[in-house]
């Protein structure tokens, strides 16, 4: 029995392009050609192709399949490595399914950062964008703290900040900053690592700092950045006063 490339592909459950790819890699020997120039595959080609497909189904890389054809078998350490990769992929898929279930349950946008699905309707486009950046800069514990911060913060001043136009006047900027400052100060008290985030950073200090600055400058307009700066200064002043009061009342 002899088959054309198309017939072999159909019989093996693959494609003509895949067979040609295996030829280029040297995994599948080129067959003899008929008098009319068409390739003529036989049972040995089919068996070889099915062996290759079996290893591909297991997740063995094509490069290792080439080695296996030369040495006779895939080494156990290669299979263990493939198994570990498959286990990691299964875990990723399980997390994805769990995330999808939460997204469908809460009606959140599909691209909502993980863990923020239930509060997605309250997040502005700017907040969502910044949280996405945070996921690449900070560890899981930091992201859980950030989630709690957002969940408990229902002050309308955040919406006012988000709606602030670039040409907002001085009084409006200062008013929002004065209302935002105490919120930032309370977060700094509740989550002290915010004052020195290096312990929760997943990137180097320089990369974290510069990426954060670039993100803020890109996401917020100049008036919003001015308000955030003022509010941060006010928050630090509030913390200093609170610490000074504690020192004054300390009997030691």
What end-to-end distance do the CA atoms of the chain give, in Å?
Answer: 97
Contact 124, 134 (CB under 8 A): no
Q: How many CB atoms lie within 10 A of CB 5?
A: 19
Contact 215, 138 (CB under 8 A): no
208 pLDDT more than 60: yes
Contact 52, 28 (CB under 8 A): yes
163 pLDDT more than 90: yes
Distance, in Å, from the CA atom of 177 to the CA atom of 154, rounded to the nearest integer, reads 16
Contact 110, 103 (CB under 8 A): yes
Half-sphere exposure of 178 (CA within 13 A, CB side): 6
The pTM for the full model equals 0.71
Mean pLDDT, range 144-150, rounded to an integer: 93
Specify the CATH number of the domain 5-73: 1.10.1660.10
Contact 23, 30 (CB under 8 A): yes
Distance, in Å, from the CA atom of 11 to the CA atom of 130, rounded to the nearest integer, reads 52
Distance of CA 34 to the CA centre of its chain: 53
Spell out the domain ranges in the chain.
5-73, 122-249
Residue 40 parent element (H or E): strand 39-40
Residue 249 banded pLDDT, cuts 50, 70, 90: low
| pLDDT (tens digit per residue) in 66-124 | 887 776 788 899 999 999 999 999 999 999 999 999 999 999 999 999 999 989 988 88
Residue 228 banded pLDDT, cuts 50, 70, 90: very high
Q: Cβ neighbours of residue 103 under 8 Å, at least 6 residues apart?
A: 109, 110, 112, 117
Q: What pLDDT is stored for residue 44 in this prediction?
A: 93
Distance, in Å, from the CA atom of 141 to the CA atom of 160, rounded to the nearest integer, reads 29
Distance, in Å, from the CA atom of 172 to the CA atom of 157, rounded to the nearest integer, reads 11
What is the maximal distance between C-alpha atoms in the chain?
104
Mean pLDDT of the chain: 92
Higher pLDDT, 37 or 111: 111
Contact 224, 164 (CB under 8 A): yes
Residue 205 parent element (H or E): helix 205-219
Contact 119, 126 (CB under 8 A): no
């Amino acid at each position: 029995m002899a088959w054309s490339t198309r017939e072999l592909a159909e019989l093996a459950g693959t494609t003509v392009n895949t067979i040609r790819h295996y030829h280029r890699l040297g995994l599948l020997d080129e067959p003899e050609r008929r008098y009319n120039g068409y390739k003529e595959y036989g049972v040995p080609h089919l068996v070889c192709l099915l062996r290759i497909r079996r290893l591909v189904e297991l997740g063995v890389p094509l490069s290792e399949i080439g080695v296996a054809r030369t040495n006779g078998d895939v080494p156990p350490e290669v299979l263990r490595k493939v198994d570990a990769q498959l286990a990691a992929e299964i875990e990723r898929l399980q997390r994805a399914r769990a995330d999808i279930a939460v997204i469908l349950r809460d009606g959140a946008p599909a691209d909502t950062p993980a863990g923020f699905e239930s509060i997605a309707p309250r997040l502005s486009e700017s907040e969502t964008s910044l949280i996405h950046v945070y996921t690449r800069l900070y560890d899981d514990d930091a992201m859980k703290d950030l989630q709690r911060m957002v969940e408990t913060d229902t002050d309308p001043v955040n919406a006012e900040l988000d709606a602030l136009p670039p040409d907002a006047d001085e009084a409006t900027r200062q008013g929002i900053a004065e209302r935002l400052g105490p919120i930032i100060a309370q977060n700094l008290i509740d989550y002290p690592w915010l004052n020195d985030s290096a312990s929760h950073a997943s990137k180097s200090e320089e990369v974290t700092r510069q990426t954060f600055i670039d993100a803020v400058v890109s996401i917020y307009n100049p008036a919003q950045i001015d308000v955030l700066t003022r509010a941060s200064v006010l928050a630090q002043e509030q913390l200093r006063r609170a610490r000074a009061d504690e020192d004054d009342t300390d009997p030691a």
